[in-house]
Amino acid sequence: MNVLLAIVTGGLFGAGVFMLLRRNPFRLIVGLALLANAINLLIFTAAGLTRARPPLIPTGAEIPPENMADPLPQALILTAIVISFGLLAFTIVLFSRTFETLKVNDFAEMKERDE
């Protein structure tokens, strides 16, 4: 399972970087989203996997069951999702404004207007 997830994480990173290198702004946003998901999966895999033991204390019990999943990476991922959600929303607004104002749809055309 670890190996499989490692391959998936690597694939997501690769796809994300590939999209980041495109000249189209929309693809860049897709790339950022893929990268964010790759990192979440990375945190999840690196912190260790357990099968079917959610970190919840059953009703009536005082202590959590043995060998339950580590709740911290889940909290980290949740925070990271929230942050990347906010950042992506902002980036989309910024890009749509910018490329509407510049009337281009390509990063290469932006460079010419630098000065």
Partner 1 sequence: MKPLLILPILLPLGFAALSLFFLHMRRVQRLLSVVGMTSLLVAALFLLQFVWRQGIGVVQIGDWPAPFGISLVADLFSAIMIVLAALMGLSVSIYSLADIDAPREGAGYHPLLHFLLMGVCGAFLTGDIFNLYVWFEVMLMASFALMALGGRRLQLEGSVKYVILSLIASSLFLSAVGILYGLTGTLNMADLVGRLSASPVHLVNTLAVLFLIAFGIKSALFPLFFWLPASYHTPPVPVSALFAGLLTKVGIYALIRVFTLLFNQEAGYTHSLILIVSGLTMITGILGAVAQNDFRRILSFNIISHSGYMIMGLGLFTPLALAGSVFYIIHHIIVITTLFLVSGVVRRLQGSLQLPEMGGLYAQAPWLSLIFLVAAFSLAGVPPLSGFWGKLILVQASLSAENYLIAATALMVGLLTLYSMSIVWGKAFWGTPPDGKAPVRILTIRESVPYYLPMAVLVLLTIGISVAAGPVLTLSTRTADQLLDPTAYVRAVLGEKP
Partner 2 sequence: MKSLILSTAAKYLLPMLLLFSAYLLLRGHDMPGGGFTGGLVAAAGFSLHGFAFGMSDAKRLLPARPLRLVGAGLLLVLGSGVFAMMKGDPFLTGTWTTLTLPGPGEWKIGTPLLFDLGVFLVVIGATLAVLLGLGRED
Q: By the criterion CB under 8 A, which residues form the site for partner 2?
A: 82, 86, 89-90, 92-93, 96
Please tell me whether residue 30 binds partner 1 under the rule CB under 8 A: no
Q: Closer to partner 2 at the Cβ: 17 or 89?
A: 89
Question: Cβ-count burial of 30 within 10 angstroms (0-12 exposed, 13-18 middle, 19+ buried)?
Answer: middle
In this structure, the number of other CB atoms found within 10 A of the CB of residue 25 comes to 19
For partner 1, the closer CB: 24 or 79: 79
35 CB-near residues (< 8 Å, 6+ apart): 12, 13, 16, 17, 20
Q: How many CA atoms lie within 13 A of 88 on its CB side?
A: 18
Query: What binding mask, one character per residue, do residues 65-84 give for partner 1 by CB under 8 A, x or -?
Result: -------xx--x--xx--x-
Smallest distance, Å, CB 101 to partner 1? Answer: 6
**Minimum distance, C-beta of residue 110 to partner 1, in the bound complex (Å):** 6
